[in-house]
């Protein structure tokens, strides 16, 4: 049976959801169940920029390049649409990045 991981959203009103290993977050998270908004879902628009705490694989070079442009001072910044879920994670809004 596939392993399930918990995706939680501390500091928001949204309840944690579960995801199978390696599932795409952008298919799971909607405006109803998460504070994360998506645009392109392919890692180029930056709409889904969030802070992520958890033991998941590091960004690929393309994502890393975007993160350096969008959130150079945030070591935990990630593009939610590019995450590979291999652990329980916490997703928070990046301080100051949202209006």
Which residues of the chain form contacts with ligand FES (CB under 6 A)? 38-41, 43-48, 79, 81
Distance CA 88, CA 66 (A): 24
Nearest approach, Cβ of residue 46 and ligand FES (Å): 5
When the beta carbons of 5 and 25 are compared against ligand FES, the nearer one is: 25
Q: Which H helix or E strand runs over 70?
A: helix 61-70
Quick count: other Cβ atoms within 10 Å of Cβ 69? 9
Shorter beta-carbon distance to ligand FES: residue 8 or 47 = 47
Nearest residue (CB) to ligand FES, 4 versus 22: 22
Distance of CA 52 to the CA centre of its chain: 6
């Amino acid at each position: 049976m596939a392993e399930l991981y918990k995706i939680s959203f501390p500091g928001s009103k949204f309840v944690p959801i579960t995801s199978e290993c390696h599932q795409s977050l952008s298919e799971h998270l909607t405006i109803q169940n998460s504070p994360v908004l998506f645009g392109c879902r392919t890692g180029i628009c930056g709409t889904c920029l969030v802070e992520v705490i958890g033991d998941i694989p590091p960004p690929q070079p393309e994502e890393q390049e975007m993160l350096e442009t969008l959130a150079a001072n945030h070591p935990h910044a990630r593009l939610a649409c590019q995450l590979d879920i291999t652990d329980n994670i916490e997703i928070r809004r990046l301080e100051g990045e949202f209006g």
